[in-house]
Each structure stands twice: as structure tokens, then as C-alpha cells.
Amino acid sequence: MSAAGLIRAAPTEPVRPWLRHALDVETWRAVAAALGAPDAPDLLGLWADTLRVHALFIEPDGSDVLPVSVPVVGGVYPALSPHRPAAAWFERMVHDLWGHAAEGGTDLRPWLDHGRWPVHTPMALRPAPAGGASEPPEFLPVEGEDLHQIPLGPVHGTITEPAHLRVTAEGETIRRVEVRLGYAHKGVLALMRGKPPRAAARYAARLSGDSTVAHSIAYARAAEAALATEAPPRAHALRAVMAELERLANHTGDFAAVLGAAGLGVPAARWGWHREALLAAAEAGFGHRLMMDCVVPGGVAADIGPAGPAAILAALDALGGELPALARALDPAGGLAGRLRGLGAVSPALAARFAAGGPVGRAAGRGFDARRRPGYPPYAGLDPAPAVLAAGDAEARLHVRLAELHASAGLLRRLLADLPEGRLTLTLPMATGEGIGVAEGCRGDVWHWLRLDGGLVAACFARDPGWLHWPLLEAAMQGGEVADLPLCALSFNCSCSGVDL
């Protein structure tokens, strides 16, 4: 039987909007073994609570979301990583936070725990006392002659997120890149527990600052699903305005970063100017440049400001007027396009294997967009068709972002022209329930899971797109040049903080 068939045959539990399938250990093991089949569902994430491990799958066409769970027996559960490599980082995280070991896992090294926490397995029923001195990060050994290692980070020479990249090279040719994160670990999952959904929303909004709207929407939708409620139509529309504005600001920032790294200072400065204009418009509309804490469970915190629509439209007009000139940097015959072409290429098969979303996935043939499927309000009538390419390289990732700039600008104009009237928020009941929420952010699909007990957060998890994109960056740079690593990394623009929890 197929992996999806095994999952659907299992008993279900009341999680909204998709029922969770409760697997026993042997069925989970059978599902894991079936994940190598071409028609197997995509793995989106894996996490745990004190007694069980949970995973989230989705059909490759986005038609059905399949949450599953398995009990932890004797502190272990069958690993998924031998059959689905994307599970490896999740399994390491689960062991660090909850102490559950992935039996047969491909990588058992610590992930978030760098040996500096006051306790080990802090999310477990009985956290283990910390002991011994902190250990340096453990990387894979160097094997072979004429190889050397280049450590990059976690502290870099610019204001950027902390990530340690260990590069194994032969001369100037990269043979392996290994990423180690966890330096921005904040303990978000523990901090959210025991709080009402709206109080805990502040932590979800700060998981990855430049994607605060996407994470806030996914978290709010999870809370609303758990409580069987739905935000008012005007709140949905304002959330979409914020989400598209956030996408525009981040994509213009990505262009500025890539062009700056390539030495094109003048167009990079112009892209940066437009990012600043979009952030200023966001502040005029919602009182905060990043629109942090503007999306809350049940709706939005406040209405758009009186000067907001005009400021947003003015920023869109300015960007649209200069976009043709700025896009000439990607002319196929230009020097920048030649440098980006073939750089950090991700094959369509690998992108599908890792369920890559956003520009990384769409540049490599995976056209998944959570606004369309599984979908959420108010996008049903807006049809945000994503651009999909097949090259999978840095040039394709910028072309996808360029297409999304045009699309998001059009969506914003339509949303602002037809904002529905009505309430901004609703009162949340003090109830028990479990829900899953999704939002399409600038980097791809963001997922949140939430369990409420008597109106308080009992357990939660947040899956940023970076969980699946960082391993693709490692793979994409094999065989590339050391000097091209910064440019390739900027074309991916993976979030550290979103993965570090």
C-alpha cells in the first residue's frame, strides 16, 4: 500500500481543518519505508510533544494535507530520515528539545543544543540536568587528500543572522558545505506554552522578523482552527494587504543584496530605496515598518490608517515606474545574468524531494503556492498564479522574484480597491482544541500547529521554509566556487531565526 493509503487507513483524531491520523509504530515504520515511492506525499515538517511525535505531509499537487502522529515507546520512534532526507534536521531538533530519539536516523548529532543550556531536553516531561562544558559544533570529518576546510561564521562581517557554514574545498572548488544553526535559538515553543493565544502571538510574530506577517497569519489561522472560529472578511483582506506588502519589501531587499554582492552598487541602491519606500508605506498603513503584532488570532489589531492606502499606492507607482529599468540587470546577455546562470542550481527532482516552496522551489519546477492550494481567505477569487521555471539556479530565483513583484503589486491594488466593510476582530472562546494554519510568505509556505487546553497554549510548533531550504543550499554549492558562495546564499535568502526556534 502507498504511504498516503497507509495514512488514510489509520484512525483519525479531531484536528482542524485536517484530521490527524494516529499511526501505531509499525504503521509509521511502513509509511516511512513507502516514502521513497515517486507518488509519496511530501514531508513538510516533523515535531513532537511529551508523548508523541507528529509529522505533516501533503500530496504533491497540494490537494490534501495529511497530519500524522506516532507514540514514543521507550524514548524512541522509527526515523523517517533514511527514506526522506529532509527529516534529518527535524529529528535532531526533536531529540534536543524533547529527548525522543529517531531509531535508525541518518544523523544523531545535536542541532539546537550547543551545550550551553541550563538543562537538556527542556521540553520533556522531566528535563535532564546539564553537565560538562560546552562542546564545539560537530561537523562531518574531512576525507581525502588535497582537501581543506574553511569555517565561515557564525559571526560574520556584516549585520546578518548567525550561521556557521563549514566549507570543504579542493583548491577553490567546493566539495561540501555543511550548515550549523541554533545560534539564534530563543526558546519560542516553551515561551508560548501556558499563555492565551493572543499573548502567545507576540512570540510567533518574532520567530523570523522579516516574515512576521506570514508567521502571524499561519499562527492566527492555527488558533482560529483550534477554536473553530473564522476571522471577519475585512480582517482577511487586511492580512492579505500586509502579506503582499511584506513580500514586495523582502523581494526588493533580495535584489538589493544580490546586486550589491555582485558589485552593481547603483542598481542595488535603487532596489534598496524601493524597499525603504515600501517599509515606510507599511508604517503609514499599519503603524510598524515590519507590521509586527498587526495580525492577531481572531482578526487584526487595528484598521489600516487613513494615509495607508495612498502611501502604499504611491510606493507601488514608484516601483512600477522604475521596474523595467531595474530589471535590465537580468538581461540574458548581461554580465550579471551570465554570472548567476548555473550558480547554485537545484534540480526539479531535488526540489520536489525536499518540498521546496517560494522562489527556491518555483525556480526549480515546483509550483506550490499555499495561497492557491490548500488555499485560505481572501485569495480564492484573486488567483495568485506563481511563475514557475525549471533551471533552479540563482538567475531563475531572481526571475521568479521579479514575476512575483508584478503579481503582488497587482494583488495589492485589487485588495485596496475592494476592502470589505465590517468588523476587524472577534472574541475568542476559552476552549480546548487543536489546529493547523498555513500562510504563503516571501520564502514559501509557513505552517503552525497549536494545541489549546482550556483556552491556553498547551503545545505548539512553527515550521519556517528554511527547514527545507538550507539543506538545498548545501547541495546546490557542491562543485561550485568558494568565491560564489555568498552570492548563492543571498539568492536563497534562508532564515536562520525561523529555524532556530
pLDDT number for residue 135: 65
| Same-domain pairing of 82 and 213 | no
pLDDT more than 70, % of the chain? 99
Domain that holds residue 93: 3-129
Residue-wise pLDDT tens digits, 83-97 = 999 999 999 999 999
Kindly state whether residue 170 falls inside one of the protein's structural domains: no
Q: For position 333, what pLDDT does the model report?
A: 79
State the Cα–Cα distance between residues 462 and 499, nearest whole angstrom.
9
Domain for residue 158, yes or no?
A: no
The reply to whether 476 falls in a domain is: no
Cα four-point dihedral sign 28, 357, 499, 471:
positive
Report the CATH number that the domain containing residue 361 is assigned in CATH: 1.10.645.10
Residue-level pLDDT at 138: 80
Tell me what pLDDT residue 111 has.
Answer: 93
What is the rounded CA–CA span in Å between residue 445 and residue 325?
Answer: 30
Which of 106, 129, 152 lies at the terminal end of a domain, its last residue? 129
What residues contact residue 26 under an 8 Å CB cut-off, 6+ apart?
Answer: none
When divided into structural domains, the chain yields a total of 2
- Whether residue 13 is found in the same domain as residue 121: yes
pLDDT reading at 133 higher than 60 = no
122 lies in the same domain as 197: no
Whether 318 maps to a domain, the answer reads yes
pLDDT one-digit tens code per residue, 155-164: 887 778 999 9
Q: Is the pLDDT of residue 281 over 60?
A: yes
Q: Is the previous residue joined to 374 through a cis bond, with omega within 30 degrees of 0?
A: yes
| Whether 412 and 292 share a structural domain | yes
Mean pLDDT on 283-294 = 98
CB 450 within 8 A of CB 435: yes
- Asked whether residue 490 is assigned to any structural domain, the reply reads no
Residue with cell 503582499: 244
Whether 137 is covered by a domain: the verdict is no
Q: Which triple of cell numbers denotes residue 158?
A: 556584516
pLDDT at 134 over 90: no
**What is the full DSSP assignment across 63-130?**
S-EEEEEEE-BTTEEE-STTT-TTHHHHHHHHHHHH--EEET-S--S-SS--S-SSEESTTSSSPEEP
| 285 shares a domain with 218 | yes
Residues 6+ apart with CB under 8 A from 221: 376, 435, 437, 438, 439, 448
15-70: pLDDT as tens digits: 999 999 999 999 999 999 999 998 999 999 999 999 999 999 999 988 899 999 99
Cell of 458: 498547551
Same domain, 89 and 200: no
pLDDT value of position 249: 98
- CATH (domain of 16): 3.30.460.80
pLDDT digits (tens, 9 = 90+) for 344-394: 999 999 999 999 999 999 999 999 999 999 999 999 989 888 899 999 999
Query: Would residue 308 count as lying in a domain?
Result: yes
Q: For residues 348 and 417, state if they share a domain.
A: yes
Claim to verify: residue 342 and residue 232 sit in the same structural domain: yes
Same domain, 353 and 461: yes
Confidence (pLDDT) at 144: 80
Q: Is residue 165 a part of any domain in this protein?
A: no
Mean pLDDT of the chain: 95
Residues 99 and 204 in one domain: no
